[in-house]
């Protein structure tokens, strides 16, 4: 992972303190004309029974001074959708930046 914006790094650390994901991607990063981060989005791949409930919990747990978004996939959903050209997961895999990979998780697709 390259040197990350402090706002993104802090949000990532809050996220990692709340959940143990397999993968975390940064897939949007909005920067102002002054070069400041004004928003970003994470894609989180983790084993969870209810991805929507986890998204809600993460929004409450992650303290961030700028707008951020979350998208949660189970590993099974991620594996299937990443193999489908045109899917949003495939686009994130192709264009997103891998910020975190669980040790022993193997290479992303």
Please list the alpha-helical segments (H only) found in the chain: 6-18, 51-61, 75-82, 88-95
Length of the chain: 109
pLDDT range class, residue 1, cuts 50, 70, 90: very low
Is residue 76 exposed (0-12), middle (13-18) or buried (19+ Cβ within 10 Å)? Answer: exposed
Q: Residue for token digits 């990692």?
A: 16
Q: Which CATH code for domain 6-101?
A: 3.30.300.90
Question: Does the structure show a pLDDT above 50 at 96?
Answer: yes
d(CA 55, CA 38): 20
pLDDT range class, residue 109, cuts 50, 70, 90: low
pLDDT tens digits, one per residue of 75-90: 999 999 999 999 999 9
Tell me which residue of 92, 25, 48, 6 sits closest to 57, measured CA to CA: 48
pLDDT tens digits, one per residue of 8-67: 999 999 999 999 999 999 999 999 999 999 999 999 999 999 999 999 999 998 889 999
């Amino acid at each position: 992972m390259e040197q990350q914006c402090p706002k993104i790094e802090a949000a990532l650390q809050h996220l990692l303190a709340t959940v143990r994901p397999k993968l975390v991607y940064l897939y949007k990063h909005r920067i102002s004309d002054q070069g400041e981060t004004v928003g970003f989005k994470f894609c989180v791949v983790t084993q969870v029974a209810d991805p929507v409930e986890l998204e809600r919990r993460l929004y409450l747990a992650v303290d961030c001074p700028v707008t951020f978004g979350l998208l949660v996939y189970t590993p099974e959903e991620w594996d299937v959708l990443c193999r489908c050209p045109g899917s949003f997961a495939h686009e994130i895999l192709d264009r997103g930046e891998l910020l975190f990979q669980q040790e022993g998780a193997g290479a992303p697709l």
